[in-house]
Amino acid sequence: MQKKGLLFCLVLVVSAFLAINIAGAQNLSSDSEVKNLTVVMNEIMSSQSVDNKEGIDCDKVSDDQFEELGDSVMEQMAGSNQAHEVMEQMMGGEGSTSLQSVHIAMGTQYLGCRQNSYLTAFGPVGMMGMMGYGRGMMGGLYNGSSIFGAGLGLGVFGYVLTLVVHGILLGLFIMFVVYVAGRAWRASMNEDEKKKK
Protein backbone atom coordinates (compact mmCIF):
# COMPACT_ATOMS: atom_id res chain seq x y z
CA MET A 1 0.00 0.00 0.00
CA GLN A 2 2.82 2.41 0.90
CA LYS A 3 4.61 1.70 -2.36
CA LYS A 4 1.54 2.65 -4.38
CA GLY A 5 1.14 5.90 -2.40
CA LEU A 6 4.81 6.73 -2.82
CA LEU A 7 4.69 5.99 -6.53
CA PHE A 8 1.57 8.15 -6.86
CA CYS A 9 3.34 11.05 -5.08
CA LEU A 10 6.37 10.72 -7.35
CA VAL A 11 4.22 10.72 -10.49
CA LEU A 12 2.29 13.72 -9.16
CA VAL A 13 5.47 15.70 -8.44
CA VAL A 14 7.02 14.94 -11.82
CA SER A 15 3.75 15.74 -13.62
CA ALA A 16 3.38 19.05 -11.77
CA PHE A 17 6.96 20.03 -12.60
CA LEU A 18 6.51 19.17 -16.28
CA ALA A 19 3.12 20.91 -16.50
CA ILE A 20 4.51 24.11 -15.00
CA ASN A 21 7.45 24.22 -17.38
CA ILE A 22 5.36 23.33 -20.42
CA ALA A 23 2.81 26.02 -19.54
CA GLY A 24 5.61 28.56 -19.17
CA ALA A 25 7.05 27.60 -22.54
CA GLN A 26 3.65 27.84 -24.23
CA ASN A 27 3.08 31.31 -22.83
CA LEU A 28 6.32 32.41 -24.43
CA SER A 29 5.82 30.78 -27.84
CA SER A 30 4.84 32.72 -30.90
CA ASP A 31 3.22 31.94 -34.18
CA SER A 32 4.03 35.33 -35.72
CA GLU A 33 7.17 36.00 -37.71
CA VAL A 34 8.80 39.41 -37.45
CA LYS A 35 10.48 40.83 -40.54
CA ASN A 36 14.17 41.59 -40.40
CA LEU A 37 14.95 45.25 -39.63
CA THR A 38 16.92 45.62 -42.86
CA VAL A 39 14.00 44.28 -44.91
CA VAL A 40 11.54 46.70 -43.30
CA MET A 41 13.91 49.64 -43.80
CA ASN A 42 14.42 48.69 -47.46
CA GLU A 43 10.64 48.56 -47.97
CA ILE A 44 10.19 52.04 -46.47
CA MET A 45 13.09 53.46 -48.51
CA SER A 46 11.85 51.88 -51.74
CA SER A 47 8.33 53.23 -51.15
CA GLN A 48 9.85 56.73 -51.08
CA SER A 49 12.52 56.06 -53.74
CA VAL A 50 15.42 56.98 -51.45
CA ASP A 51 18.74 55.24 -50.91
CA ASN A 52 19.38 55.82 -47.20
CA LYS A 53 17.70 56.33 -43.85
CA GLU A 54 18.42 60.05 -43.82
CA GLY A 55 16.46 60.53 -47.05
CA ILE A 56 13.21 59.21 -45.58
CA ASP A 57 10.43 61.78 -45.23
CA CYS A 58 8.73 60.99 -41.91
CA ASP A 59 5.46 62.56 -43.05
CA LYS A 60 5.21 60.00 -45.85
CA VAL A 61 5.68 56.98 -43.56
CA SER A 62 2.34 55.43 -42.57
CA ASP A 63 1.49 54.28 -39.06
CA ASP A 64 1.44 50.71 -40.38
CA GLN A 65 5.02 51.13 -41.60
CA PHE A 66 6.07 52.71 -38.30
CA GLU A 67 4.43 49.83 -36.43
CA GLU A 68 6.16 47.19 -38.55
CA LEU A 69 9.48 49.01 -38.15
CA GLY A 70 8.99 49.31 -34.39
CA ASP A 71 8.20 45.61 -34.14
CA SER A 72 11.43 44.80 -35.98
CA VAL A 73 13.40 47.21 -33.78
CA MET A 74 11.94 45.58 -30.66
CA GLU A 75 12.86 42.12 -31.96
CA GLN A 76 16.43 43.25 -32.55
CA MET A 77 16.64 44.94 -29.13
CA ALA A 78 15.25 41.86 -27.38
CA GLY A 79 17.84 39.62 -28.97
CA SER A 80 15.54 36.62 -29.39
CA ASN A 81 12.00 35.86 -30.46
CA GLN A 82 11.22 34.53 -26.97
CA ALA A 83 12.38 37.72 -25.23
CA HIS A 84 10.47 39.77 -27.79
CA GLU A 85 7.28 37.85 -27.03
CA VAL A 86 7.79 38.42 -23.30
CA MET A 87 8.13 42.15 -23.90
CA GLU A 88 5.00 42.19 -26.04
CA GLN A 89 3.01 40.34 -23.38
CA MET A 90 4.08 42.90 -20.79
CA MET A 91 2.79 45.68 -23.06
CA GLY A 92 -0.67 44.28 -23.63
CA GLY A 93 -0.08 41.38 -25.98
CA GLU A 94 -0.42 40.87 -29.71
CA GLY A 95 -3.17 43.01 -31.26
CA SER A 96 -3.55 45.40 -28.30
CA THR A 97 -3.63 49.14 -28.90
CA SER A 98 -1.00 49.70 -26.23
CA LEU A 99 1.46 47.40 -28.02
CA GLN A 100 0.60 49.02 -31.35
CA SER A 101 1.35 52.44 -29.85
CA VAL A 102 4.68 51.24 -28.48
CA HIS A 103 5.66 49.76 -31.86
CA ILE A 104 4.73 53.00 -33.64
CA ALA A 105 6.68 55.05 -31.10
CA MET A 106 9.73 52.80 -31.46
CA GLY A 107 9.53 53.01 -35.25
CA THR A 108 9.31 56.81 -35.22
CA GLN A 109 12.15 57.01 -32.69
CA TYR A 110 14.33 54.71 -34.81
CA LEU A 111 13.87 56.93 -37.86
CA GLY A 112 14.43 60.08 -35.81
CA CYS A 113 10.89 61.31 -36.39
CA ARG A 114 8.78 62.97 -33.70
CA GLN A 115 11.63 63.70 -31.32
CA ASN A 116 9.18 64.42 -28.51
CA SER A 117 8.07 60.79 -28.45
CA TYR A 118 7.48 59.38 -24.96
CA LEU A 119 10.29 56.87 -25.52
CA THR A 120 12.83 59.69 -25.17
CA ALA A 121 11.65 60.09 -21.58
CA PHE A 122 13.37 56.81 -20.70
CA GLY A 123 16.72 58.51 -21.23
CA PRO A 124 19.91 56.44 -21.26
CA VAL A 125 18.14 53.48 -19.65
CA GLY A 126 16.07 52.98 -22.77
CA MET A 127 13.28 50.53 -23.38
CA MET A 128 15.28 47.46 -22.37
CA GLY A 129 16.27 48.91 -18.99
CA MET A 130 12.69 49.78 -18.20
CA MET A 131 11.57 46.24 -18.96
CA GLY A 132 14.19 44.66 -16.75
CA TYR A 133 16.74 43.59 -19.32
CA GLY A 134 19.24 46.21 -18.24
CA ARG A 135 19.68 48.52 -15.29
CA GLY A 136 16.14 49.80 -15.17
CA MET A 137 13.03 49.93 -13.06
CA MET A 138 12.66 46.16 -12.71
CA GLY A 139 16.22 45.63 -11.52
CA GLY A 140 17.55 43.99 -14.67
CA LEU A 141 16.96 40.48 -13.39
CA TYR A 142 14.77 38.83 -15.98
CA ASN A 143 16.48 36.66 -18.55
CA GLY A 144 13.51 34.70 -19.88
CA SER A 145 14.06 31.63 -17.74
CA SER A 146 11.59 32.22 -14.91
CA ILE A 147 8.29 30.46 -15.48
CA PHE A 148 6.42 32.89 -13.22
CA GLY A 149 8.70 35.86 -13.85
CA ALA A 150 8.17 39.32 -15.20
CA GLY A 151 7.13 37.92 -18.58
CA LEU A 152 3.84 36.78 -17.06
CA GLY A 153 3.31 40.08 -15.28
CA LEU A 154 4.09 38.87 -11.75
CA GLY A 155 7.37 40.75 -11.23
CA VAL A 156 9.31 40.02 -8.05
CA PHE A 157 6.45 37.90 -6.73
CA GLY A 158 6.93 35.69 -9.79
CA TYR A 159 10.57 35.10 -8.96
CA VAL A 160 9.71 34.21 -5.36
CA LEU A 161 6.88 31.93 -6.52
CA THR A 162 9.25 30.20 -8.94
CA LEU A 163 11.78 29.61 -6.17
CA VAL A 164 9.09 28.29 -3.81
CA VAL A 165 7.63 25.90 -6.41
CA HIS A 166 11.05 24.60 -7.42
CA GLY A 167 12.06 24.35 -3.75
CA ILE A 168 8.98 22.29 -2.93
CA LEU A 169 9.55 20.01 -5.91
CA LEU A 170 13.22 19.58 -5.02
CA GLY A 171 12.32 18.88 -1.39
CA LEU A 172 9.78 16.24 -2.40
CA PHE A 173 12.31 14.62 -4.70
CA ILE A 174 14.95 14.54 -1.94
CA MET A 175 12.41 13.07 0.49
CA PHE A 176 11.60 10.38 -2.05
CA VAL A 177 15.26 9.50 -2.57
CA VAL A 178 15.90 9.38 1.18
CA TYR A 179 12.81 7.21 1.70
CA VAL A 180 13.83 4.74 -1.02
CA ALA A 181 17.42 4.63 0.22
CA GLY A 182 16.22 4.07 3.79
CA ARG A 183 13.93 1.25 2.73
CA ALA A 184 16.74 -0.39 0.78
CA TRP A 185 19.13 -0.02 3.72
CA ARG A 186 16.58 -1.47 6.17
CA ALA A 187 15.91 -4.38 3.81
CA SER A 188 19.62 -5.15 3.54
CA MET A 189 19.97 -4.94 7.35
CA ASN A 190 17.08 -7.38 7.78
CA GLU A 191 18.73 -9.80 5.34
CA ASP A 192 22.02 -9.59 7.25
CA GLU A 193 20.22 -10.33 10.52
CA LYS A 194 18.46 -13.34 8.97
CA LYS A 195 21.78 -14.69 7.71
CA LYS A 196 23.30 -14.38 11.18
CA LYS A 197 20.45 -16.41 12.73
Q: Are residues 65 and 116 in the same domain?
A: yes
Summarize pLDDT for 158-168 with one digit per residue, the tens: 667 777 888 88
Range of the domain at 68: 29-139
Examine the pLDDT at 54 and tell me if it is beyond 70.
yes
Q: Are residues 111 and 191 in the same domain?
A: no
Summarize pLDDT for 170-192 with one digit per residue, the tens: 888 888 888 888 888 888 888 77
Q: Are residues 61 and 92 in the same domain?
A: yes
87 closest CA partner among 132, 146, 22:
132
Mean pLDDT of 72-82: 82
User: In total, how many domains does the chain have?
Assistant: 2
Q: Are residues 23 and 70 in the same domain?
A: no
Q: Which DSSP state fits 144?
A: S
3-state class (DSSP) for residue 104? helix
**C-alpha dihedral (109, 114, 119, 124), degrees to nearest 10:** 70
Q: Are residues 91 and 65 in the same domain?
A: yes
- Ranking 2-11, 35-44, 113-122 by mean pLDDT, the lowest is 113-122
With a threshold of 0.75, does the pTM exceed it?
no
